[in-house]
Every structure is written in structure tokens, then in C-alpha cells.
Chains A and B, each alone.
Chain A
Amino acid sequence: MPRTLIDKLWDEHTISDLGDGATLLYIDRIFLHERTGSVSLKGLQEAGRKVLHPEQVFCTMDHIVDTFPGRGDETVMPSGKDFIVTTREAALEAGINLFDIGDERQGIVHVVSAEQGITLPGFTQVCPDSHTCTLGAIGALAWGIGSTEGEHALATKTLVVSKPKVMCVKFEGLLPYGVTSKDMILFLIGKFTAAGGSGYAIEFTGQGIKALPQESRFTLCNMAVEFSAFTGLIPPDDTTFNYLEGRPYAPRNEAWDSALAHWGTLKSDDSAAFDAEISIDCADIVPLISWGTSPGHTVAIDGTVPDPDAAADDDERAAWARAQEYMDLFPGKKMEGLSIDAAFIGSCTNSRLSDLREVARVVKGRHVAEGIKAIVVPGSSQVKNLAEAEGIDAVLIKAGFEWRESGCSMCFFAGGEHFGERERVISSTNRNFENRQGPKTRTHLASPTTVAASALAGKIADVRKLGNDS
């Protein structure tokens, strides 16, 4: 019987069928971080249980650590040090792989797992973080779990999971100039709402996907969870294999050859049936910007804030009205030209070397507008080092950006560094919920190049109008 890729990965990891749609699945990789990893490890300790196969478990410090140059265990967040120290002690005690502060491999969990070759095609991988779906871009089945499930995975190398339905989202054609994979996923969520993927695991296919460089694929899969999908993945291909070859935890020599042979089978059968299908023409996609408090609240960069009366139903109308009040916007307001207070480039969505290269290209020889706080946080210490070797940091600093150590930083306000009350921030991150980046902070989501162009202008700007310098 023809199977989708997701069906194949599900079958390949099934230990037993528990009935009622629930399966006991084998989990190849577990990744923790200091905010919730500590909770899982402590929970296990308290129950007198051990981590099974700690060599297949990894942990980094990203969520709570400060990103100021020279940062250490002390944090702006009042209890931050507790999380860091507890995680470190528990990780060392359990014998798992720890990428601590100061380790060259430290970084944002979903950046590190890929660049270290920890996530490989066909793997099942979990992490107590909702953006674990990012790693679906490697062709893995990767999803976010809570801390209690984390304990279960650590203690047994398995999870009881209900199989989601499978959706195919096909991006046909090629992206227009100035449009990125960030705009692709924002387009999908905007068109089909933030709940559109609920109950589904998504396979992204089509010419538009195959044409994406590997790092751009991470951005797209990263926001599958904002579409309420169980996860999103992209079948591995030569782009993926070329990306992975030689990475520290990837197999080598004969093992590489065997793995490659297996990975070549990781695609949906031609006549496999999906439970739902969506088709999008890349030619329809433009640079997007969010206006509200859901990743689904987006318009074209040259568009205007929509009228709540145009919403699909009463609930959505109320949500739009509430969001516009929070964001201090009104129907018909043009997005382009809206003044901003700050610009943030970073997060597991957009902080990889290719993102930073693109930003550097946009800002080279130009300067951030007066009064604008502009920050760039590289996705990992390795990304930071590589960027510095290319002189990207110098370009960004000269242009008026702060250049930070790696971490999740101000993607969200954890009690540490944050944006100010009612500040308007344009951000390369994935969530614009109320109060997400600071108390009453107003977040506008966009691609890193749109963020960069806006930082230069001091207002929301269309990067396509900047002129092509490259």
C-alpha cells in the first residue's frame, strides 16, 4: 500500500500499536535546554530514574542565558542562574552531551542540532520546546513535547504518541525577488489561519521547496507549529545530504554510504494519499509583515491593516479588533512607513549564517536610523564565529547594530532583557503574541531582510525598494 514519508517514518519507529490510534514510538534523539530540560532531568532524579542511553541525549543553554558579550552564569533574569546551574549539574550527573556556556557548540537548540549533524534524515527527535519542528527540514520527524513527556522519553527512549493526519503543502514555481522562506510560511498561515494545520503533520513539497537552500528550509519548518501543525517536514534530497556531510555527529565513510542509501528511500510513494492537500503558487507571495497578535495576522508589506468586519466569523472579528487595539493600529493603516522603536534579528527562525549574510548585504554602507535600537543575535556560537571570520560582525556594528553572543534572547521576555512597554519592534522571530517580547510590547514579524531594511529606515520598509547592491 502506498505510503507518505510521514507514514514510513511512523512505521519505521513503531515498537507497538497501543490501539485507538496511539503508538509506542522509538525516539532517536532527545535535545534539552536549560529552561525546561532542567525540569525533566530533576523530575527523573526525584522519581529515582535514570536517563537511558545518555549518549543520544543532548543539552544546550539558550533560553535563559544573557547574550551580552562576556556573559556567564549570572543573568538579568532574577532566577536565571538557578536554571543554568541546575541544568548543568543534572546534565553532568546523567552523562548526557552538554553544550555549555563557553562551549563552541553552544547555541539555540534548533540551530545547533542541525549544524552539529545530530538530527539526521528519518530520525524521530523531541525536545521540550515547540519549535522542534524546525528540524523537519532535515527530513526528520521532530516535534515539541512538555517536560513530563520529556521525562518519559529520557527514561525509556520511547513516547506514546497519537498519529496525526497527514497534509501535503505544495509550493509551486519559484520565489520572486526579495521574497524569502519566512514569507512562504507566513503566507501559508495568513491564508489558512493559525489553526489551519491543527491535527496534521505536514509534508512540504514542490519546486519552491526543492529550490530552497538548506538553511532557508529550517525557517519554513520552524513555523509549522504556528500553523498548529503537529510538525512539518521536507523530504531529504541532495541539498540536505550536502549540508550534512562531514558534520560532527553525522556518520562517516561506510556508515555514511549506508545511511545515504537508506535516506534515498525517504520520500512519499507516488500514489500515496494525503488526508489534506494545499497548493500555493510562489509567484503569489510577496514580503509580508504581521499587524496583529497572531502569526496569521499578516498583510503584504505594501498593504494595509484589515477591517475586522472583513473577518471570517464573529470570533475572528473580536480577535482582530482586540489585536488592533493592543497594537495601536486601525483598519486601513498602511504598514509601510509605520515608525518603529526597535529591530531584532535572531531566534531559531532566522539567525543562521545565510540570514546574517543577507542582512549584512542589505545594511552594508548604510546605517540604522537614529534612535532605533537594533540587535543581531547569531543562532549559535559556531554561527557567530563563522560570521566574524567573514567580517559580518564588523559590517553590522558599523551599521549601528548590536552584535551579541548566541541565545534565544529577546524572542520572548523571560524576566530578563526585554523590549519596553508599548515599544514597536520589528522582529525576525516567530511569535507576536501580546506581551511576548516585553510588557505591552508590540511585535511585527517579518523576514530578516525586511527587518534590516526597516531598521535602516526607522520605519517598516519594503526591502525590494532599497536597490540591488550585490
Chain B
Amino acid sequence: MKPFTKLTAIAAPLLRINIDTDAIIPSKEMRSVGKHGLSAGMFANWRYSDPSNRVENPEFILNGEPYRRAEILLTGGNFGCGSSREHAVWAMREWGFRAIVAPSFGAIFRGNCVRNGILPVVLTDNVIKSLSVEVEANPHINRITLDLPKQTLISSRGISYSFEIARADKEMLLLGLDPIGITLRSDEDILAFTRADRVKRPWVYL
């Protein structure tokens, strides 16, 4: 997975609250067992006026220029709530998103983001609305920069906003890491835990 350090990209505003993962990737679009081939299904019920025949809805923001090439999404609170389907993140990643900026995220969705190279940025609703206004004024030119090492978002006018991110999540994104490999380095600790636990709670160990 490609490391995420710094990104300057076109941003698209989709300022609805509670966008759930059924909307991001309808169940019907999750056709194959794998993690790929999902980008065409992203936001399918909004993006297409006829999802079965992929007839594009010209009103939907991501179908317009330059938003078709957006890599950053600006959106409303509780983004990614609902079902745990990681396919929502895979679809967005494959389509081209590398970061999502929202006042809050569905917890499972947020965890899926950092495991798949998408940076979830939490900023206030007011900030996001003002960023959206800036972007919409001239989306081709008014791009947003994200600096993960410095945990900063910089608007096209040069205004900086700090954001929080858990150290473990930041590390995963910065290094494009494989979380399993990292944990297996703690195998001594895990073994010590289970040895003691088997005595305390034998009914766990079938």
C-alpha cells in the first residue's frame, strides 16, 4: 500500500449528514468476493439515474468537472455510519479518494479507512463549510493540501487547520504498513497473556 505523506488535490463537497455505507456502496454493487472492481458502484444510487445501465445523473457533484478527479471529499457528520462493509472504503479508494474531511465518522468506517490508505480528517462543521465555499468558487484552482506528518490541512488561501489522529493510525498511513506483521512482533507478549489466561478463564479455550 502506498504511503501517505503529503497530498495537494481537488476537493469535492458533499455536505450531507449521516451518509451511510449503504449509500457509499449499495449491497447490490458488492458482486464479487474480492476487494477490487467496486469503484463503478460507488454512490451508485446517487451517481446514476439508472444504476443498472450506468446512466449518469448530471446533478450529482462527482459526475461534474473537475470533481471527477477529486481526491479529497468534504462532507457532513457521521460519514460512513451503518454497515461495517469495508467495500465502502475499497470503492472510494479505487475511485481515487485519498482523504475524507468530516466532523465525525462512523467508527468502523474510520478504522477501515486507515487500514486502506485513506486519511480520515476530523474538522469542525464550520471549517468544512468554509472550505467548501472556497473550493466551489474555483474547484480547478482552489485545491486543498494535507500534510500528515504535520497533521495539518491547508486551504487554497493558505489557512492552516490542525487535525488529530491516533498515533497507530498515523503510522499505518505514513508507512503504508501491514498491521499483521507489526502485531506478530509482539508474539511473546501474546503467548504470555494466553498462558496466564488459560488458568484464569479455561472455558475460553475450546
Q: Are A145 and B108 in touch, CB under 8 angstroms? A: yes
B174 contacts partner chain A, Cβ-Cβ < 8 Å? no
- Minimal Cβ-Cβ distance residue in A for B183: A156
Contact with B along A19-31 (1 / 0, CB 8 A): 1111010101000
A-B pairs with CB below 8 Å: how many? 182
A413 CA / B200 CA spacing, docked (Å): 44
Q: Does any Cβ of A come within 8 Å of B7's Cβ? A: no
Whether the Cβ atoms of A251 and B186 lie closer than 8 Å is no
Q: Which residues of A contact B15 (CB under 8 A)?
A: 315
B104 touches A (CB below 8 Å): yes
Q: Specify which chain A residues have a CB less than 8 angstroms from the CB of B83 in the assembled complex.
A: 129-130, 412, 431
Q: Are A228 and B183 in contact (CB under 8 A)?
A: no
A194 contacts B203, C-beta separation under 8 Å: no
Residues 179-218 (chain A) with a chain B CB within 8 angstroms: 194-195, 198-199
Contacts of A294 in B (CB 8 A): 18
B18 touches A152 (CB 8 A): no
A28, A38, A162: which contacts B33 (Cβ < 8 A)? A38
Bound Cα distance A28, B205 (Å): 8
> Would A148 and B116 count as touching, CB distance under 8 A?
yes
A302 within 8 Å of B (CB atoms) = no
Contact of A36 among B18, B78, B86 (CB under 8 A): B86
Question: Is A419 in the interface zone, CB < 8 Å from B?
Answer: no
Interface string of A202-238 (1 = CB under 8 A from B): 0000000000000000000000011010100000000
- Identify A19's interface contact among B86, B167, B190, CB under 8 A: B167
How long is the Cα–Cα vector from A436 to B186 in the complex, in angstroms? 42
A26 vs B190: C-alpha distance in the bound complex, in angstroms?
A: 8
Given contacts A38-B33, A130-B84, contact A434 B23 (CB under 8 A): yes
Whether B31 pairs with A146 at a CB distance below 8 angstroms is no
Contact B180 A36 (CB under 8 A): no
Tell yes or no: B34 within 8 A of A by CB.
yes
> B18 near A194 (CB under 8 angstroms)?
yes
Chain A residue, CB-CB nearest to B20: A433
Among A225, A230, A258, A315, the residue within 8 A (CB) of B203 is A258
The A289-333 residues at the B interface (CB cut-off 8 A) are 294, 315-316, 318-319, 322
User: Are A149 and B111 in contact, CB atoms less than 8 angstroms apart?
Assistant: yes
Tell me if A42 and B167 are in contact (CB < 8 A): no
Once bound together, how far apart are the Cα atoms of A158 and B192, in whole Å?
13
Within 8 A of B (CB), among A251-271: 251, 255, 258-259, 262
Residue of B nearest to A296 (CB): B18
What residues on A are CB-neighbors of B30 within 8 Å? 35, 414-415
A73 within 8 A of B: no
- The reply to whether A433 and B82 form a contact with Cβ atoms under 8 Å apart is yes
Other-chain residue from B107, B179, B183, B200 in contact with A230 (beta carbon distance below 8 A):
B107
Task: Identify which of B86, B166, B168, B204 contacts A148 (C-beta below 8 A).
Answer: B86
Q: Does A69 contact B (CB under 8 A)?
A: no
The interface residues of chain A lying within 8 Å CB-to-CB of B20 are 431, 433
> In the complex, what residues of B have CB within 8 A of residue A36's CB?
84-86
**CB distance A146 to B33 under 8 Å?**
no
Contacts of A79 in B (CB 8 A): 31-33
B166-206 to A contact mask, C-beta < 8 Å, 1/0: 11100000000001100110100110011001001111111
- B84, B166, B168, B205 interface centre (most CB from chain A within 10 Å): B84
Asked if A78 CB lies within 8 Å of chain B CBs, one says yes
Q: How far is the CA of A294 from the CA of B16 in the complex (A)?
A: 13
Contacts of B82 in A (CB 8 A): 130, 225-226, 431, 433
Nearest neighbor of B77 in chain A, beta-carbon distance: A195
The residue from B78, B89, B112, B202 contacting A258, defined by CB atoms under 8 A apart: B202
Would you call B18 and A22 a contact (CB within 8 A)? no
Given A56-B206, A152-B179, A230-B107: A195 and B32 within 8 A (CB)? no
Beta-carbon contact of B115 and A146 below 8 Å? yes
Chain B residue nearest in CB terms to A29: B204
Question: A155 with B104: in contact, given A15-B193, A228-B81 (CB under 8 Å)?
Answer: no
Q: How far is the CA of A55 from the CA of B206 in the complex (A)?
A: 6
A39 with B27, Cβ < 8 A, contacts A318-B16, A433-B82, A435-B45 known:
no
A116: shortest Cβ distance to chain B, in Å? Answer: 12
Q: At the interface, yes or no: A120 with Cβ under 8 Å from chain B?
A: yes
Task: Say whether B28 faces chain A, with CB atoms less than 8 Å apart.
Answer: yes
- Given A21-B166, A152-B179, A316-B17, is A147 in contact with B28 using a C-beta cutoff of 8 Å? no
Contacts of B89 in A (CB 8 A): 146
Q: Would A262 and B23 count as touching, CB distance under 8 A?
A: no
CA distance A144 to B85 in the complex (A): 10
Does A160 touch B at the CB level, under 8 Å? yes
A144 to B110, CA, bound (A): 12
Q: Is the CB of A155 within 8 A of B28?
A: no
- B203 smallest CB distance to A (angstroms): 4
User: Taking the complex as formed, is A157 at the interface, i.e. its CB lies under 8 A from any CB of chain B?
Assistant: yes
In contact, A148 and B115 (Cβ under 8 angstroms): yes
What CA separation (Å) do A147 and B85 show in the bound complex? 8
Decide yes or no whether B106 CB sits under 8 A from chain A. Answer: yes
Q: Given that A26-B193, A28-B204, A82-B33 are contacting pairs, would A433 and B86 also be in contact in the complex, using a CB cutoff of 8 Å?
A: no
Given the known interface contacts A145-B111, A158-B190, A436-B22, the answer about A249 and B206 at a Cβ–Cβ threshold of 8 Å is: yes
Sample of 10 A–B contacts (CB below 8 Å):
A15-B186, A39-B34, A49-B180, A79-B32, A143-B108, A145-B111, A146-B108, A158-B186, A195-B18, A433-B22
Which residue numbers of B lie inside 8 Å of A, CB to CB? 15-18, 20, 22-23, 26-28, 30-35, 45, 51, 76-78, 81-86, 89, 104, 106-108, 111-112, 115-116, 125, 166-168, 179-180, 183-184, 186, 189-190, 193-194, 197, 200-206
The 4 closest A-B pairs by CB, nearest first: A146-B86, A251-B203, A20-B167, A146-B112
- Beyond A322-B16, A412-B27, 11 additional contacts (C-beta under 8 Å) are A15-B193, A26-B193, A28-B204, A83-B33, A128-B86, A152-B180, A157-B190, A262-B201, A414-B30, A431-B20, A439-B51
